[in-house]
Amino acid sequence: MYTSEDILLVDKPAGWTSFDVVAKIRGRIRAEYITCDIKPTKKQLKVGHAGTLDPFATGLLVILLGDACKKAGEFLKLDKQYEFTAKLGEVSTTGDPEGEITKADTNTHDPTEEQILEALKQFEGEITQVPPAFSAIKINGTRAYKLAREGKEVEIPPRQVTVSRLELISYDYPYLKCRCDVSSGTYIRTLAEGIAKQLGTGAYCTELRRTRIGSYSTEGATAIDKIV
């Protein structure tokens, strides 16, 4: 059973890695102990997170303190909610703004809103995804993104994930904004690319925000500048 002292909900800003947030909070805890002239133990400085967020992404990051770190796996299995914006007609090597961006090979028309809504329907329910090469998945003990950055070929097996809800928030070509509820292991960058392919074009995520993990949401999260 967790208490509020075991868990810290952080609203991560863009540009921060999940490790940056963990390191900042650990530093803040260390500083508070030192201020009280107390040398903190390893257990008191133990800080982890329950599910990473890409640096360009914002939103909910569940920070675990002390013994709660042992239960990180339980959080990783929880369903999640995201809001994302995709730019149609262009593609990125990483699926996000951090990659090399080029025009899509197939970009013969501007999809109508009706076509968008029909495409979204194709991705509701259980679907098959191939996670992106630039991901934290381990391939023979090495993170896939490290191999990809070295120019090595990365082969990641497809996986079954569930999209329980996928709805359109707004559409003003070339920008498409959606909200989705997904199972653990779903890659939103890949989802955006799949939607674009269904529309006969390409896309990449320009913005990504995680708003919920299980029963935890950004409504109860604290901005990092309020913590550190």
* Active-site amino acid positions: 54
Q: What is the DSSP letter of 132?
A: -
Strands 58-65 and 203-213: parallel
DSSP codes, 143-168:
EHHHHHHTT-------EEEEEEEEEE
Residue 71 has phi, psi (to 5 degrees) of -100, 15
- Length, in residues, of the chain: 228
How many whole angstroms separate alpha carbon 139 and alpha carbon 221? 33
What's the token pair of residue 58? 């914002």
What's the token pair of residue 197? 């392919």
User: Contact, 167 vs 179, CB < 8 A?
Assistant: yes
Q: Measuring CA to CA, which residue among 57, 16, 100 is closest to residue 205?
A: 57
Please count the CA atoms within 13 angstroms of the CA of 3 that sit on its side-chain side.
3
CA distances from 34 to 44, 89, 228 (A): 12, 53, 15
